[in-house]
Amino acid sequence: MKKMLFAGILLLLNVLTAAAQTGPVPDYEVTKIIEQTLADIKDALKEIKPQFPQLANMDYAAAITRNPSGEEGTIRFEYTRGFVQGSYIPKDAASIFVEIKYPAALEDVRAREQEGKLFMLGNGNACVYWKSVRAEDSEQGQAFKNKVDEIIVLKLLAMQIKLR
Protein backbone atom coordinates (compact mmCIF):
# COMPACT_ATOMS: atom_id res chain seq x y z
CA MET A 1 0.00 0.00 0.00
CA LYS A 2 2.78 2.44 0.95
CA LYS A 3 4.71 1.47 -2.20
CA MET A 4 1.68 2.28 -4.40
CA LEU A 5 1.09 5.60 -2.61
CA PHE A 6 4.74 6.57 -2.99
CA ALA A 7 4.67 5.64 -6.69
CA GLY A 8 1.50 7.71 -7.11
CA ILE A 9 3.09 10.74 -5.47
CA LEU A 10 6.19 10.43 -7.68
CA LEU A 11 3.98 10.15 -10.76
CA LEU A 12 2.04 13.27 -9.79
CA LEU A 13 5.24 15.24 -9.17
CA ASN A 14 6.58 14.23 -12.59
CA VAL A 15 3.31 15.17 -14.28
CA LEU A 16 3.14 18.50 -12.45
CA THR A 17 6.68 19.34 -13.51
CA ALA A 18 5.99 18.46 -17.15
CA ALA A 19 2.68 20.37 -17.19
CA ALA A 20 4.26 23.47 -15.70
CA GLN A 21 6.89 23.45 -18.43
CA THR A 22 4.59 22.97 -21.42
CA GLY A 23 1.42 24.99 -20.70
CA PRO A 24 -2.11 24.00 -21.82
CA VAL A 25 -2.47 20.86 -23.93
CA PRO A 26 -3.62 21.54 -27.50
CA ASP A 27 -7.11 20.31 -28.32
CA TYR A 28 -5.89 17.63 -30.76
CA GLU A 29 -3.74 15.99 -28.03
CA VAL A 30 -6.53 15.57 -25.47
CA THR A 31 -7.97 12.37 -26.99
CA LYS A 32 -4.51 10.77 -27.07
CA ILE A 33 -4.00 11.56 -23.39
CA ILE A 34 -7.43 10.14 -22.49
CA GLU A 35 -6.75 6.92 -24.41
CA GLN A 36 -3.33 6.61 -22.78
CA THR A 37 -4.87 7.11 -19.33
CA LEU A 38 -7.33 4.26 -19.93
CA ALA A 39 -4.50 2.06 -21.24
CA ASP A 40 -2.49 2.93 -18.11
CA ILE A 41 -5.44 1.88 -15.93
CA LYS A 42 -5.64 -1.43 -17.78
CA ASP A 43 -1.88 -2.01 -17.40
CA ALA A 44 -1.96 -1.18 -13.68
CA LEU A 45 -4.82 -3.64 -13.16
CA LYS A 46 -2.83 -6.34 -14.97
CA GLU A 47 0.01 -5.73 -12.50
CA ILE A 48 -2.23 -6.49 -9.49
CA LYS A 49 -3.96 -9.44 -11.20
CA PRO A 50 -2.06 -12.06 -9.10
CA GLN A 51 -3.52 -10.54 -5.91
CA PHE A 52 -7.18 -10.64 -6.96
CA PRO A 53 -9.15 -13.52 -8.55
CA GLN A 54 -11.60 -10.92 -9.88
CA LEU A 55 -8.95 -9.91 -12.44
CA ALA A 56 -8.32 -13.44 -13.77
CA ASN A 57 -9.67 -12.58 -17.23
CA MET A 58 -7.96 -9.18 -17.50
CA ASP A 59 -5.67 -10.19 -20.38
CA TYR A 60 -8.52 -10.88 -22.81
CA ALA A 61 -11.76 -9.52 -21.32
CA ALA A 62 -10.83 -5.86 -20.82
CA ALA A 63 -11.70 -3.45 -23.63
CA ILE A 64 -11.16 0.19 -24.50
CA THR A 65 -13.74 1.47 -26.97
CA ARG A 66 -14.52 4.78 -28.65
CA ASN A 67 -18.10 6.10 -28.71
CA PRO A 68 -19.46 2.94 -26.98
CA SER A 69 -23.08 4.14 -26.95
CA GLY A 70 -22.85 6.15 -30.13
CA GLU A 71 -22.09 9.22 -28.03
CA GLU A 72 -19.45 11.25 -29.88
CA GLY A 73 -16.29 12.07 -27.94
CA THR A 74 -16.67 9.25 -25.41
CA ILE A 75 -13.99 6.65 -24.66
CA ARG A 76 -14.60 3.76 -22.23
CA PHE A 77 -12.52 1.16 -20.40
CA GLU A 78 -14.64 -1.81 -19.41
CA TYR A 79 -13.98 -5.14 -17.71
CA THR A 80 -16.42 -7.73 -16.40
CA ARG A 81 -15.77 -11.14 -14.90
CA GLY A 82 -18.64 -13.41 -14.02
CA PHE A 83 -22.35 -12.70 -14.12
CA VAL A 84 -22.88 -9.23 -12.65
CA GLN A 85 -26.46 -8.03 -12.72
CA GLY A 86 -28.30 -5.68 -10.39
CA SER A 87 -27.08 -5.74 -6.82
CA TYR A 88 -26.10 -9.44 -6.81
CA ILE A 89 -22.44 -10.13 -7.53
CA PRO A 90 -21.17 -13.71 -7.13
CA LYS A 91 -17.84 -14.62 -5.52
CA ASP A 92 -14.81 -13.52 -7.57
CA ALA A 93 -16.98 -11.66 -10.08
CA ALA A 94 -16.38 -7.99 -10.81
CA SER A 95 -17.39 -5.11 -13.00
CA ILE A 96 -15.18 -2.09 -13.70
CA PHE A 97 -15.77 0.81 -16.02
CA VAL A 98 -14.27 4.21 -16.57
CA GLU A 99 -15.79 6.44 -19.23
CA ILE A 100 -14.45 9.83 -20.27
CA LYS A 101 -16.15 12.38 -22.52
CA TYR A 102 -14.38 15.25 -24.26
CA PRO A 103 -15.42 17.93 -24.91
CA ALA A 104 -18.10 18.00 -22.24
CA ALA A 105 -20.60 20.42 -20.77
CA LEU A 106 -22.26 20.72 -17.37
CA GLU A 107 -25.37 18.97 -18.75
CA ASP A 108 -23.26 15.84 -19.43
CA VAL A 109 -22.55 15.45 -15.71
CA ARG A 110 -26.21 14.80 -14.89
CA ALA A 111 -27.21 13.18 -18.18
CA ARG A 112 -26.85 9.68 -16.72
CA GLU A 113 -28.06 7.80 -13.69
CA GLN A 114 -24.58 7.99 -12.14
CA GLU A 115 -23.42 11.59 -11.84
CA GLY A 116 -20.07 12.30 -13.46
CA LYS A 117 -17.14 14.48 -12.40
CA LEU A 118 -16.47 17.55 -14.53
CA PHE A 119 -13.13 19.34 -14.71
CA MET A 120 -11.80 22.20 -16.79
CA LEU A 121 -8.83 21.84 -19.11
CA GLY A 122 -6.12 24.37 -19.75
CA ASN A 123 -7.42 24.87 -23.31
CA GLY A 124 -10.77 26.25 -22.04
CA ASN A 125 -12.82 23.10 -22.69
CA ALA A 126 -14.13 20.65 -20.11
CA CYS A 127 -13.96 16.90 -19.62
CA VAL A 128 -16.30 14.63 -17.65
CA TYR A 129 -15.70 11.10 -16.37
CA TRP A 130 -17.74 8.37 -14.77
CA LYS A 131 -16.32 5.37 -12.92
CA SER A 132 -17.67 2.29 -11.22
CA VAL A 133 -16.03 -0.64 -9.44
CA ARG A 134 -18.24 -3.49 -8.29
CA ALA A 135 -17.40 -6.78 -6.57
CA GLU A 136 -18.94 -9.22 -4.10
CA ASP A 137 -19.92 -7.94 -0.69
CA SER A 138 -17.14 -9.52 1.36
CA GLU A 139 -13.86 -8.52 2.97
CA GLN A 140 -11.93 -9.70 -0.09
CA GLY A 141 -14.38 -7.93 -2.42
CA GLN A 142 -13.99 -4.69 -0.46
CA ALA A 143 -10.18 -4.94 -0.61
CA PHE A 144 -10.47 -5.41 -4.38
CA LYS A 145 -12.77 -2.40 -4.79
CA ASN A 146 -10.49 -0.21 -2.66
CA LYS A 147 -7.34 -1.15 -4.60
CA VAL A 148 -8.94 -0.76 -8.04
CA ASP A 149 -10.55 2.54 -7.07
CA GLU A 150 -7.18 3.81 -5.79
CA ILE A 151 -5.54 2.97 -9.13
CA ILE A 152 -8.31 4.61 -11.15
CA VAL A 153 -8.32 7.77 -9.03
CA LEU A 154 -4.52 8.16 -9.27
CA LYS A 155 -4.53 7.69 -13.06
CA LEU A 156 -7.45 10.11 -13.52
CA LEU A 157 -5.77 12.68 -11.29
CA ALA A 158 -2.56 12.41 -13.33
CA MET A 159 -4.64 12.86 -16.51
CA GLN A 160 -6.33 15.96 -15.11
CA ILE A 161 -2.97 17.49 -14.26
CA LYS A 162 -1.61 16.76 -17.77
CA LEU A 163 -4.66 18.37 -19.35
CA ARG A 164 -4.53 21.61 -17.33
Q: What is the pLDDT along the chain (164 residues), one digit of tens a residue?
A: 566 655 556 555 555 555 454 667 777 799 999 999 999 999 999 999 999 999 999 999 999 999 887 888 999 999 999 988 888 899 999 999 999 999 999 999 988 888 899 999 988 899 999 999 999 999 999 999 999 999 999 999 999 999 98
Q: How many domains does the chain have?
A: 1
Please classify residue 164 by burial: count the beta carbons closer than 10 Å to its beta carbon, then call 0-12 exposed, 13-18 middle and 19+ buried.
middle
Q: Count Cα atoms within 13 angstroms, Cβ side, for 103.
A: 11
8 Å CB contact between 60 and 163: no
- What pTM does this model have? 0.84
Q: In which domain, by residue range, is 152 found? A: 2-163
Peptide bond into 26 cis (omega under 30): no
- DSSP per residue over 75-117, as a string? EEEEEEES--BTTB--TT-EEEEEEEESS--HHHHTSSSS--E
